[in-house]
Structure formats: C-alpha cells, structure tokens
Structure 1
Amino acid sequence: MFFLVSLCVFGLLLRGDAQDRASLWRGNDRSGRCQYTFTVPSPAEASCPQVGPPEVEGLKARLGVLEALVAQLSGRDDQSPGGHGSTGVRGHAELQEALNRALGERNLLQGEKERLERELQGLQRRVEEMRRETERLRNRPCPPQIPVVQSSSSQQDRNPIRPAAGSSQMSHLITRPNRQGDSSNLRDSAWQYGTSGFQELKAEVTEVPAPDGSQDGTGCGALVSVGEPITHKKADNIAGKYGVWMQDPEAVSPYGPNMIWRIDTIGTEVRQLFGYDDMEQLSKGFPSKVLLLPDPLESTGATLYRGSLYYQRRLSRTLIRYDLASESIAARRELPHAGFHGQFPYSWGGYTDIDLSVDEKGLWAVYSTNKAQGAIVISQLDPHTLEVKKSWETNIRKASVANSFIVCGKLYTVASYAAHNTLVNYLYDTETSQGRATSIPFKNKYGYNSMIDYSLAQRKLFAWDNFHLVSYDIRLGQQAN
C-alpha cells in the first residue's frame, strides 16, 4: 500500500515538473479518424528530422504520387534504372531520324539506278541499229559509175547528173507542197524518221556546171556553187572552239558598215560580244569594242540586222533584240512552240534549236516544234517586235542535217559538219513552198563546222569551223521570171 502511494506521489511530482513542457495534439489520421497525440520534449535530442506534424508527411506522400502520375501521362516517366529514361527517348528519336535519312538516300539511289538502266538500254538499241545499218551498207552493191560524155550537141551533157525522183537515196527528200500560215497552226509533218544512229542525209555527188556569161552571181536565183573556204582568224583559247561571227548589212551609227562582230559560245554564261573595226583588225585579234549582254546567249544562232543583235536567251525559247547603240534590250518575245536546249538541234548538237539569220528578204528563224515532229520550220520575223509574220513547214528532219542557211528566201541544208567533202543537199523555196534535193559540193576544211550563215553585207557564207573563222564565196543563178 505504501508503495502504491509513493508511486502516485512520484508521478504527480513528475507531471508538475513537466507541466510547462508537455503538449497534447489532436488531428485526423489518413483514414479520417480523430487521433490524439501527447508529446514530450526529448531530454537527449535538441531537434528531430521531422519538424512538421504527421499530416504534412501525408501530404508529401500524396504529392509524390500525383507527380508520378503526371510524369506518366506526359511521357516523361523514368522507366530505366538510374533515371536515364529521357536519354533513352532522345536516343530513340535520333535513331529514327537516321533511319529515315537512310531510306531517303536508298530511294534516290534506286531512282538513279533505274535511270541509268534506261539510258543503257537506249544506247544498246542504238548500237544494235548502227550495227544492222553497217551490215546493210556493206552488203549493198556499189552503184554503177556513169561516165559523163562531153558533147556540145547534147543538152543532157551540159546539165549536171541528177538522181531520179524515185531513186531510193533521194525519194525521201522530195517534199510535198506546203501551205503557208502562222506557226501556231502548223500541220504535223509527214517526215518519216530514219535510223536514229545516222543523222546525216545521204546525197549523190554530181557535177556543177561551169558558169557562163549569163550568170553574173549577183542575182537572187538558186545557189549554183560554193567556193573554197578562206580562213580569216583562229580563236585564241578553248572558248573559241564554237562560235558565231557576223556583219550588219545595214549598220547603224556609231558603228560603221565594215564592223565585224564575234561571240565565243563555249560556256554556260555567254555574254561577251567583241567588235572589230574591219576584217584586218579581226585577223589581228584586237577588238575595238566589247559589249556585255544583259542576258546569256545560247548556241551559235545569233545574227545582226539594222543596228541590233538578235539572239536566243539561254535555257528558253525567248528571242531578244539587243540594240548596240543604247546597249540595252529593245524587244523580247517567245518563239511560239519552238524547241530549245537540245530538243531539236542540228546533228552536231550544241543546243542549236533556234537558228536566226538575215537575207535580202529580212529576218528569219529556223527551228522545230513538237507539232512538226522535229521537221524544220521556217518563220519570217518582224525585226522590230520579233513577231512571227509567216511560217513554212518542211519535210526535212532538223536533227538529220549539220546546219542550214537562207539566201534570197531559200533555205539550204548542209549534210555533214565533220566530213571534209560534203554537200549542200537540200533547198526549200519559201516563195513557192516547194523543196527539192540538191548536190552542191561544200568543204569543212577543219573538220567541225558549228556555224554557217549567209552574210548579206558581203554576199558570202560565214562559218565557224573548229576554232577557225572562215568564209565562202557563192554563186547564184539568175532570178527566174
């Protein structure tokens, strides 16, 4: 009994001593039930890691759960140990991007492979066609030689030997009558394409009658003969392998009538026009004037007329009239439906799709269209506006001839650009809309003729033959009445 009383007294004393330091706390637990907590300061510890009441810890736990849920919903949840999940996502994206690039490159290479295979098949077909044509030519017997009997009493002996209209070599050159009209309404050509491996027309060599007193060579009849090439100048560098040189038949101040102009056409940005006071200065190679064209020129089809340079703008069917005096563009117009940049060139190539020239009847353009199926189209142009005035369609495939020139409204084609001895093998007269085969000897002295034009100023042919500027005297027959 005494022991129990002593214990109660001792507890009361302890309670009295700690009355100021003990505290009672009441609050809801996680399940929502009321919970009483009695706290007494520790006599050994100055502070505890837990500084807040128990519900703070509950709130922290709940916030942690919410943060984990938000991370999962936003795709940023760390699934890998050590917290490297975001690094794994970035690595996956980079691998996917590299895979897409590899697939794209593979598709490009596949397309290039298919294109090369198609080109290879085309080349193989052309080689096979050339082989068959070679065999055919080898097996064909040589034509018999017909001696020419000199006799003054026979009219036939005085005329050149012409192949018959129905001969196998010439029948494909005989053209049908053709109607005139605008180039926008051209009929499809009846020209039958031959073997693509042989682009030069075939013609028999015939004798040209010696000129007599009735032919003065100054008329405007058909071409009778072409003289030997006369060399005036050799280009100084590789840029002059191809080119065009010309003389204005109706020169305009400040340039005189003897002025010679030249353009080297090698390169993608052909802009320089060189002027020489006369032929002697041209041969010495010292230009007195250099003009820079505002738009680049394509190929060797430029010409001069009445103080303006006419040329085709590079990579287009646009024709430009460049005024030499003001050094500015005076007119610009597209040639309707004309092929350009290698669609319908001459057989030597060089993007010679549009060939401009000047003769006694004005300004001309020689070209082709899809509607003409590659046949030569001749258009007469207005020299001021470049508008098409009239057009004629021939039956001669443009890619089958080496070059052409126009004299007195008549188109002449040259068979080969490389053979030293070739022919002017076709004539088309715009006056009668009729064409016929011819056999007038023509020489390519240097073996690569890239430009042939009629110079009205000198009534000669100007040509650019493998770095060399050459000219040819010509003889015309009397104008038919």
Structure 2
Amino acid sequence: MIFLLSLCVLGLLLQGDAQQDRAALWRGNDRSGRCQYTFTVPSPVEASCPQTGGPEVEGLKARLSLLEVLVARLSGGDTLQPARPQGSPNRAQPDLQEALNQAMGERNLLRGEKERLERELEGLQRRMEEMRRETERLRNRPCPPQTPMVQPNLALDRGSVRPAAGSNPMSHLMSRPNRQEDSSSLRDSAWQYGSPGFQELKAEVTEVPAPDGNEDSTGCGQLVSVGDPVTHRRADNIAGKYGVWMQDPEAVSPYGPSMVWRIDTVGTEVRQLFGYDDMEQLSKGFPSKVLLLPELVESTGATLYRGSLYYQRRRSRTLIRYDLSSESIAARRDLPHAGFHGQFPYSWGGYTDIDLSVDERGLWAVYSTSKAKGAIVISQLDPHSLQVKKSWETNVRKNSVANSFIICGKLYTVASYASRDTLINYMYDTETSQGKTVAIPFKNKYGYNSMVDYSPAQRKLFAWDNFHIVSYDLRLGRQQAA
C-alpha cells in the first residue's frame, strides 16, 4: 500500500515536471487600473477555450486605448473624437479647408480695404485742418490801414528803384522777397499790410498817342487801354484764392479751341488741371476733364500753347512741357540762372519767380537772375525743347511790380496788386530793346490780383483776383515807331 502511494506521488511529480515548461505567469493592470497576477497552465484535455479574450487581450485593449488618447493629444485634438469606421474616406475635410481658405482671403481683402479707407480719412482730416487754419488766419488778419495814398516820384534805375525826396526811406524794405528756406505753402507777402501807395511805381508819364483812323484792334500794336474787369466765376474754396486760367491759342486735338483750363495754386500739392468745354461751363463750374499732373506746380505762371501745358516745377527752376493729348511730360529743361521759390517774385509774393506767357510771337518766360540783380529778364523759348532762343534784360526790378504780361513781343507791368485803381506803368519792346514808362489805368476789382496774362485766343487779359476769375477787354493802337 505504501509502495502504491509512493508510486502515485512520483507519477504526479513527474507529470508536473513535464508540464512545468508550458506554465506561464502573467502580470498586468485590470480595467480599474489595479495590478493583477495570473498563473496559466495549458489544459491536457481541451485544445482551445470556448471563449476568446482573456486578461492578455483586455490588457492590450487598455494599452491601445491609452495610446489612442496620447496620439490624439499630440496631434492637436483637445478631446478624443469618436473613431471612424476603417476604410471610410474623410470627404468633409477638403471642403472645410477650401471654405476656410476662402474666408481667410476675404478677411485679408476687407482688412486691406479698411486700411486704405483709414488712410484716405486721415488725408481728408489733414486737408480740413489746413483749411481750418487758413480760414482762422484770414479771419484774424488785420485790415490794412486807411492812409492817404503816397505817390512819390520814382526814377527807374537799372539796379533799384530810388524814392524821391520826402518819401519814406524804409519803403524799399517792404519789397524784400520771401526767402528760399521758407517751406510754407503759398502765403501772402509780408508787405501786404502796407499802404497800397507803396506798391505803385510812379515815373515820368509819357503820353500814349491816341489811335488814328487806321487803328487796328485785331492785329499787333501798342496797348492803348484796358476795359473794366468782367467776372466769370468765384472759386469754391480756399484753394482758389490764387490760381491761373488760360486758353490755347493754337489748340490741338482732342481738345477744341473753346476749351478753358484752370489750376488752383494754394497748397503744397498743386497738381490738378481742370478743363471746361467753354466759358459757359467754366462759369457754371462743370469741368469735363480733370488731369493729374506728374510734377507739382509752382505758383501762377503756367500757360497753354499748341496742345501743351507749360509750367514751373515746384521748388526748382525746371520748366516742364506737359502734352495734353498723351497726358505725359514731353520735355523738361532748367531755365539758366533763374531765381526760384521766393528769390525774385512779384511784389505780392506767392513764389512768382518764373512767369510763362504766350502771345502772337510764341512762348516767353519772365524772371530774374542774380547777375541781373533782380531786374526783369525776358526770354523767348523754343516751345518744343524749352531752350532759350534770345534774352533781354530790362531796367525795372521784378519785385517792384505786381505782375506782367506780354502782347506782340512787348512786356507790360502792373504797378499794384491791391489798389483798386492802379496803372500799367511800364512797357518794354523786345524789337527795339527799349523800355519806357506808360500810364494806362487798370482796376483790381477784388483787391488781390495774383495773375495777369494775355490770351491771344480771345485777345483779352485773363486775371485771377482774390478768388475771382476775371477778364479785361483791350484796345491796341497801331505799331508806334521807335
């Protein structure tokens, strides 16, 4: 009996040793996260379990769940999205990306438009502020004192105008021009507050011969009289206090001979050229064409000739020919030694150093140089290249007269820009190279005449008088012998 018992025990031990190689110990976390040990021994009877899974599979599922969470977080997802069925394409993603790109593009366009509108608003605010300051300055400006007009006898000298005995010895200081370093916009001269008498250039008056029966009012001849001013329009805003208006005596297509042009010259950004079909449209204020000039305009010395606008470039002695048909610069050239930006202006100031004009004989420039010591220099220009063809030096100082114009090769000067009743007081003939004093009545109806030019197209004087566009009828006598 003991022997049989020992034999059984020995058999169990041997069987246990034979199956020991196939036993396994497994350790892992259960679903609640607690550590769990499992000891497995293969069954000698069953080839496979009736159910699938087991602790190993459950542990793998738990680990895979944790890995999915970690991968979702690393890829940028804050929350774990439901798993999509395997094999189903993500068709919504390209549509969403396209919609997002379109929305971003529209947002960028709106942002750019907003920035552009903000810049335009800032520009308009600056212009309003400048206009407000100009209005306040004009309101606070004192009125000129009402003193008796002083009419001293002055003798024309080549270098200066000397006051006669009894006149104020300091009056010549009132004609000192604006300095070049003054960077302000078009402003009234310092001497505008003085008596208009100081602006008159009085000299020995030579009588103008009366016209005879052979008077020719349509051809070239010496100026006999100037009619009363006729007002065509008043400027709309402060930018039109000073300006220039003109007609082309030899108009070129696409613009006809009745076309009228205008430039408002108050401000630091003067570049707009307004065109009107005729004088009626000018008086109504309805421009048919507005051109933006590529270079800024200096003062009121521009003119029109043969389809081109001629003007002085701001802060320079450069002359520009702007072709109206192509709307581009056709020529540019420096006027040799010419003063500019307040060196040799007319007596009213306004940086009127270079004054361009046109008559029956072509294109002219009226200016001065340091060599001429401020005396008026007349140059005839080539209208195509702007080159100087010939020059004449007069014996009257440019800053002692208010303005000038040229008719039939003769220069005429206006004594005062502010006196309501003044004179055309000097004439220089380029044919004879001789000058003399004259006394032809001239009216500044509105008390501040900043532009006077001869218009060969209408054979009238065009002027810009204190916001007002005016014209004057003329009478010309026969050519007088030298």
8 Å Cα contact 1:205/1:441 also seen in 2 = no
1:211 Cα deviation (Å)? 4.8
Whole-Å Cα distance in 1 between the matches of residues 211 and 433 of structure 2?
27
Residues 335-376 of structure 1 deviation map (CA, whole Å, 9 limit, x = unaligned) = 000000000000000000000000011000000000000000
1:284 Cα deviation (Å)? 0.3
Q: Please state if 1:277 is matched with 2:277.
A: yes
CA 1:296/1:281 → structure 2, altered by over 3 Å: closer, same or farther? same
**Counterpart residue identity of residue 238, structure 1:** I
Residues 290-313 of structure 1 deviation map (CA, whole Å, 9 limit, x = unaligned) = 000000000000000000000000
Residues 219-266 of structure 1 deviation map (CA, whole Å, 9 limit, x = unaligned) = 312110001101111111110000000000000000000000000000
8 Å Cα contact 2:421/2:441 also seen in 1 = yes
Q: Please state if 1:324 is matched with 2:301.
A: no
8 Å Cα contact 2:379/2:392 also seen in 1 = yes
Whole-Å Cα distance in 2 between the matches of residues 332 and 472 of structure 1?
32
Q: Secondary structure at the match of 1:196?
A: helix
Residues 122-155 of structure 1 deviation map (CA, whole Å, 9 limit, x = unaligned) = xxxxxxxxxxxx99x98xxx9xxxxxxxxxxxxx
Whole-Å Cα distance in 1 between the matches of residues 465 and 298 of structure 2?
18
Partner of 1:412: 412
Partner of 1:397: 397
Whole-Å Cα distance in 1 between the matches of residues 293 and 162 of structure 2?
38
Whole-Å Cα distance in 2 between the matches of residues 451 and 192 of structure 1?
23
Partner of 1:260: 260
1:480 Cα deviation (Å)? 4.1
8 Å Cα contact 1:199/1:399 also seen in 2 = no
1:440 Cα deviation (Å)? 0.3
Partner of 2:425: 425
8 Å Cα contact 1:203/1:423 also seen in 2 = no
1:218 Cα deviation (Å)? 1.7
Residues 97-130 of structure 1 deviation map (CA, whole Å, 9 limit, x = unaligned) = xxxxxxxxxxxxxxxxxxxxxxxxxxxxxxxxxx
Whole-Å Cα distance in 2 between the matches of residues 203 and 254 of structure 1?
47
Partner of 1:196: 173
1:52-67 equivalence runs, <5 A: none
1:205 Cα deviation (Å)? 7.7
Residues 436-465 of structure 1 deviation map (CA, whole Å, 9 limit, x = unaligned) = 000000000110000000001001000000
Partner of 1:169: 153
Q: Please state if 1:360 is matched with 2:383.
A: no
**Counterpart residue identity of residue 252, structure 2:** V
Whole-Å Cα distance in 2 between the matches of residues 470 and 204 of structure 1?
30
Q: Secondary structure at the match of 1:353?
A: coil
1:216 Cα deviation (Å)? 3.1
**Counterpart residue identity of residue 341, structure 2:** H
Whole-Å Cα distance in 2 between the matches of residues 268 and 217 of structure 1?
41
Whole-Å Cα distance in 2 between the matches of residues 427 and 445 of structure 1?
23
1:75-474 equivalence runs, <5 A: 169=153, 172-173=155-156, 189-191=158-160, 195-197=172-174, 198-203=198-203, 211-474=211-474
Number of residues of Structure 1 aligned to a counterpart in Structure 2: 304
**Counterpart residue identity of residue 196, structure 1:** L
What TM-score do the two structures reach when normalised by structure 1?
A: 0.60
Unpaired runs of at least 5, structure 1: 1-133, 143-167, 176-188
CA 1:421/1:206 → structure 2, altered by over 3 Å: closer, same or farther? farther
1:208 Cα deviation (Å)? 6.8
Q: Secondary structure at the match of 2:281?
A: helix
Q: Secondary structure at the match of 1:297?
A: coil
1:469 Cα deviation (Å)? 0.5
Whole-Å Cα distance in 1 between the matches of residues 396 and 309 of structure 2?
28
**Counterpart residue identity of residue 262, structure 1:** R
Q: Secondary structure at the match of 1:263?
A: strand
Q: Secondary structure at the match of 2:249?
A: coil
Residues 388-444 of structure 1 deviation map (CA, whole Å, 9 limit, x = unaligned) = 010000010000000000000000000000001000000000000000000000000
8 Å Cα contact 1:204/1:439 also seen in 2 = no
8 Å Cα contact 1:203/1:439 also seen in 2 = no
Residues 78-102 of structure 1 deviation map (CA, whole Å, 9 limit, x = unaligned) = xxxxxxxxxxxxxxxxxxxxxxxxx
Whole-Å Cα distance in 1 between the matches of residues 469 and 270 of structure 2?
18
Whole-Å Cα distance in 2 between the matches of residues 215 and 381 of structure 1?
30
CA 1:221/1:210 → structure 2, altered by over 3 Å: closer, same or farther? closer
1:213 Cα deviation (Å)? 2.9
Whole-Å Cα distance in 1 between the matches of residues 234 and 361 of structure 2?
31
Partner of 1:43: none
8 Å Cα contact 2:403/2:417 also seen in 1 = yes
Whole-Å Cα distance in 2 between the matches of residues 478 and 452 of structure 1?
23
Whole-Å Cα distance in 2 between the matches of residues 449 and 352 of structure 1?
12
8 Å Cα contact 2:300/2:352 also seen in 1 = yes
**Counterpart residue identity of residue 304, structure 1:** L
1:204 Cα deviation (Å)? 7.0
The RMSD of aligned alpha carbons is: 2.2
CA 1:284/1:192 → structure 2, altered by over 3 Å: closer, same or farther? closer
What TM-score do the two structures reach when normalised by structure 2?
A: 0.60
**Counterpart residue identity of residue 361, structure 1:** R
Unpaired runs of at least 5, structure 2: 1-146, 164-171, 175-197
Q: Secondary structure at the match of 2:239?
A: helix
Q: Percent identity?
A: 81
